[in-house]
Structure 1
Amino acid sequence: MTEPVGTFCLVLHSHLPWLAHHGRWPVGEEWLYQSWAHAYLPVLDVVARLSAEGRRDLLTLGVTPVLAAQLDDPHCLRGMHDWLGGWQLRAHEAAARLPALAAYEHRAAATALVRFERHWRHGASPLLRRLTDAGALEMLGGPATHPFGPLLTPEVRAFALDTGLTDAAIRLGARPAGIWAPECAYAPGMEAGYAAAGVRRFLVDGPALRGDTALARPVGDTDVLAFGRDLDVTYRVWSPRSGYPGGRDYRDFHTYDHPSGLKPARVTGRRVAPEDKRPYDPERAAAAVARDAADFVAVVRDRLAALRERSGRPALTVAAFDTELFGHWWHEGPAWLEAVLRTLPEAGVRVTTLRGAVEAGLVGAPVAPPPSSWGSGKDWRVWTGPQVADLVALHERVQRCALGASAPGPTRDPLRDALATEALLALSSDWAFMVTKDSAAGYARERAFGHAARVEELARLLAAGRRRAAAHRVAGWNGDDAVFGHLDARLLAPR
């Protein structure tokens, strides 16, 4: 067997904003169920199918703890089953007006129902554990509620990370050695905290390594490795301005048949009005998948060959995306993904995980990355800019309050656990992102300030010794804290 031209790692990050509100999951469930039906089900079906063929180390997958909780929650599992049935009914209702589309959607919904009933009725964790144990996946962990790490105090950052990694260990049977840091955010010194938590590898965006992403790099004087997204390869699929999903033959995400909620059109053209878009044609879309998968494989092979020629040694390229791109945003994404994973080895490219890349020795010299993220400007402006100055100040206040209310003792205190949970929810990076990008900004501020108000109220009651009143307030929240039942506020303490 000839030596591979190089190594390709696909990293997917599964994350949705925390949907629980006032103790109940249902707020925003449509968003969850759409991603579940159109991305999580088909993507993991691709992995399972390839695994059954004996293929290993297919991709590295991160599922943030807040999403993992939802994918295992009995209420959400029941709701998802109902939603899939509703999808099929919507297809039936559209049959008289859009017969071809209705038939296509009926078959898709029926397939999703079979997948869900066969593999998902006990939640995502059993399925993910099986695929991990089979060697098909490497699972990544992360902080509990997806906070922007550089803005956290070392104590809160360590607590959030430990809570998230412990959650992954409970669900998957092993504590992850790698993480997808929320927003790929990094500040100098964070690697020391990662090392202390047992994290051995994490992801940054390519510019944090000045574009030199051909090898994993030890950070500072630690053995913690930073993997950089290769933007030349990643942006071939999806960038701020272009990528395959915008192709004219793919299903248009933004055009709806409003009576049914189904999507009847193909992209047709970037400047074509919704009412002028052509009907979706699955055969045209399948041809586009084959064409774009072949193009991507050629891009990866050429990139690796060029890197090897430049450095004189085998090289690595890492393409990293939100999982929701594959199926939710880009309807044909799972089919493209399967075609790529099948074709890359045939083209002489080794496909593996981040762990597999380390085991293959694809590690370079140490680096000292600058402050960075994968957001606009590759810096912190999305989470620290003038639009979110109030949230930055709120985060500082919440952290001071949470640390001030911590009281390590011989036993856990459910009230202080509830306070710590609310603090972590208030610190989610999603709120600042949604405000900066003007995507449900009012909702984001309501959530951030609402959780912060709970933290401050509970801290006041506990400081005054009013535990009965504090317990009454927590009971009124209907058990938000139960989502991370292992959370132990005694670990949140000033050092």
Structure 2
Amino acid sequence: MSAPIGTFCIVLHSHLPWLAHHGSWPVGEEWLYQAWAHSYLPVVDLLQRFADEGREDVLTLGVTPVLAAQLDDPYCLRGFHDWLGNWQLRARYAGVRWQRDDPLLRDLAAAEHQASEKALTAFETQWRHGFSPVLRTLVDANVIELLGGPATHPFQPLLEPGIRDYVLRFGLEDTRLRVGQKPEGIWAPECGYAPGMEWGYAKAGVQRFLVDGPSLRGNTAAARTVGDSDVVCFGRDLEVTYRVWSPKAGYPGHADYRDFHTYDHPSGLKPSRVTGKHIEPWDKHPYDPARAAVAVQQHADDFVATVVDRLHKLPENSLVVAAYDTELFGHWWHEGPAWLESVLRRLPEAGVRVTTLRGALEAGHLGPKVDLPASSWGSGKDWRVWDGEQVADLVAAGADLQRDLLSIVDTFGRAARNPAADQLVREALLALSSDWAFMVTKDSAADYARRRAKVHAERFSELAGLLRLGHHDRALTRAEELHAEDHPFGRLDARGLIP
């Protein structure tokens, strides 16, 4: 067998903020359940089929601790089970409602019913005890390399060093408890980086992390050690990554793919194909799975050709890393899982080694050290999405909250855990989630994001005030009330913040 022409790694980042008990439609728990049904279930199904074939090092999968907490949570598991049953009922209703309509719509209703039945069966037979047992089998079989991250997905460059270290250490330990192994790598939230953060990574045991391509000035053909540390960074190859999804274009916008934004509101299903960029929802054509399947194969061929061409242009035996949100595959892009499977099967046939970030290092893809600039994968590749004028108030509030948190940690005491102090820290970390600033800057459910940041900050302030005044019984009672809604990370121990 001839030597590979190069190495390809696909990295998927699975993340949603804490949504349980914080609204349902259009933003809230519905967001979680849609992503669960249409992305997490089919991507796991794909990986399990690769495992059954004996394939190893198929891809690198990041799962944030706050998402894992929801996918293991009994309340969310019950809610998702109900949602799947409702999906099945909606598909039946659509089948009756569309009986006299276009044959494509009748077929779509039948396909939706079959999909809901498959999802319900998968959940009841494999997921009843949460995601972690499912994920652990994939990790143990070496089908994936698992990436972890800070507990609640904060934008790390804006955190005080003590809080930054605590959130990362706790997040890695939480993942270890769920799957039995502590991740060696992380997907840094929003690929946010500030010079010197590599030393915090090294201290926490992180050996590798992701940055965006411009952080390496586009030189992403090998991993690089960061500064004088032994910590390694990998850069997204944007020339390849953007073939799938970019700020302006990509495969999911093709006319024959299912349109994400157009709903049949009585059933809640999505009956249309994209049709065209400027077509009104009521003028879009019915979704045709056969047309979509043809587009999937065309785009898989195009992507494989793009990777091969890119590797031929780079120095011999180079590395290409493409990285995406997991939720793109199935949730945002209905055909995404089928495309992903086709690409992962065709790349080896084209002479490309497909592996994980760990596998890329084992294959020798390590270049000279690099000094990284302050960066992210957001607009402008700097921090403006999370630290810009539109979110200046959120940034200021977050800075004040961190100062308050650090000023009160000495009162926690080391002798025993304090549930009120634990809830105080939990609310602080939820308030500092990077999602809120992103949603405001991008004007995506901005009101919801501002409300969430405000709610958690106010809950933090309420508990902090009670603890400062020595009203420990009242603080404990209030913490128990808040814990009913905000309860990720039952092992969270506020004493870990004490210097």
Indicate whether the TM-score tops 0.5.
yes
Q: Distance in 2 between matches of 1:213 and 1:493?
A: 39
Distance 1:285 1:225, change over 3 A: same
Letter in 1 for 2:394: L
Q: Distance in 2 between matches of 1:19 and 1:481?
A: 9
| Alpha-carbon distance, 1:118 to partner | 2.1
Aligned to 1:442: 447
Q: Distance in 2 between matches of 1:393 and 1:157?
A: 17
| Alpha-carbon distance, 1:294 to partner | 0.9
| Alpha-carbon distance, 1:489 to partner | 1.3
Residue 91 (structure 2) pairs with residue 91 (structure 1) = yes
Q: Distance in 1 between matches of 2:27 and 2:403?
A: 29
Question: Is this contact kept in 2: 1:20–1:27, CA < 8 A?
Answer: no
Q: Distance in 2 between matches of 1:329 and 1:247?
A: 13
Question: Is this contact kept in 2: 1:25–1:76, CA < 8 A?
Answer: no
Question: Is this contact kept in 2: 1:249–1:285, CA < 8 A?
Answer: yes
Aligned to 2:465: 460
Aligned to 2:9: 9
Structure 1 runs not aligned, ≥5 long: none
Q: Distance in 1 between matches of 2:20 and 2:233?
A: 33
CA deviations over 1:5-42 (Å, ceiling 9, x no partner): 10100100111122134799998111111000000000
CA deviations over 1:423-450 (Å, ceiling 9, x no partner): 1111111111111112222221221122
Q: Distance in 2 between matches of 1:84 and 1:185?
A: 35
CA deviations over 1:120-179 (Å, ceiling 9, x no partner): 111110111001100101110000111000000110000110111111011010110100
| Higher mean C-alpha deviation, range 13-22 or range 424-433 | 13-22
Letter in 1 for 2:419: P
| Alpha-carbon distance, 1:460 to partner | 2.0
| Higher mean C-alpha deviation, range 372-381 or range 99-108 | 99-108
Aligned to 2:288: 281
| Alpha-carbon distance, 1:314 to partner | 1.6
Aligned to 2:101: none
SS in 1 for 2:321: strand
Q: Distance in 1 between matches of 2:30 and 2:24?
A: 14
SS in 1 for 2:62: strand
Residue 323 (structure 2) pairs with residue 316 (structure 1) = no
| Alpha-carbon distance, 1:421 to partner | 1.0
Distance 1:424 1:59, change over 3 A: same
Aligned to 1:34: 34
Question: Is this contact kept in 2: 1:293–1:336, CA < 8 A?
Answer: yes
Distance 1:23 1:296, change over 3 A: closer
Q: Distance in 2 between matches of 1:100 and 1:478?
A: 45
Letter in 2 for 1:270: K
Aligned to 2:489: 484
| Higher mean C-alpha deviation, range 332-341 or range 15-24 | 15-24
| Higher mean C-alpha deviation, range 96-105 or range 375-384 | 96-105
Aligned to 1:362: 365
| Higher mean C-alpha deviation, range 372-381 or range 74-83 | 74-83
| Higher mean C-alpha deviation, range 114-123 or range 173-182 | 114-123
Q: Distance in 2 between matches of 1:29 and 1:17?
A: 10
Q: Give 1:337-486 correspondences, 5 Å limit.
A: 337-407=340-410, 408-480=413-485, 482-486=487-491
Aligned to 1:45: 45
| Alpha-carbon distance, 1:80 to partner | 1.2
Q: Distance in 1 between matches of 2:83 and 2:329?
A: 20
SS in 2 for 1:406: helix
Aligned to 2:312: 305
Letter in 2 for 1:254: H
Letter in 1 for 2:453: A
SS in 2 for 1:364: strand
Letter in 1 for 2:417: R
Q: Distance in 2 between matches of 1:469 and 1:137?
A: 46
Q: Give 1:326-345 correspondences, 5 Å limit.
A: 326-345=329-348
Question: Is this contact kept in 1: 2:222–2:365, CA < 8 A?
Answer: yes
Letter in 2 for 1:325: L
Residue 158 (structure 2) pairs with residue 151 (structure 1) = yes
Question: Is this contact kept in 1: 2:24–2:30, CA < 8 A?
Answer: no
CA deviations over 1:375-424 (Å, ceiling 9, x no partner): 11111111111111111111111111111111351332222111111111
Residue 191 (structure 2) pairs with residue 188 (structure 1) = no
TM-score of the aligned structures, taking structure 2 as reference length: 0.95
Q: Give 1:204-353 correspondences, 5 Å limit.
A: 204-308=211-315, 313-353=316-356
Aligned to 1:117: 124
CA deviations over 1:75-131 (Å, ceiling 9, x no partner): 211221221111111111111324222111111111212222222111110111001
Letter in 1 for 2:380: G
Question: Is this contact kept in 2: 1:383–1:429, CA < 8 A?
Answer: yes
Equivalent residue pairs, number? 490
Letter in 2 for 1:269: G
Q: Distance in 1 between matches of 2:184 and 2:484?
A: 30
Q: Distance in 2 between matches of 1:22 and 1:125?
A: 23
Letter in 2 for 1:453: E
Aligned to 2:102: none
SS in 2 for 1:484: coil
CA RMSD of aligned residues (A): 1.7
CA deviations over 1:250-302 (Å, ceiling 9, x no partner): 11111111111111111111122211211111111111111110110111111
Structure 2 runs not aligned, ≥5 long: 99-104
Question: Is this contact kept in 1: 2:27–2:448, CA < 8 A?
Answer: no
Question: Is this contact kept in 1: 2:20–2:29, CA < 8 A?
Answer: no
| Alpha-carbon distance, 1:479 to partner | 3.8
- Deviation beyond 6 Å, 4+ runs, structure 1: 22-27
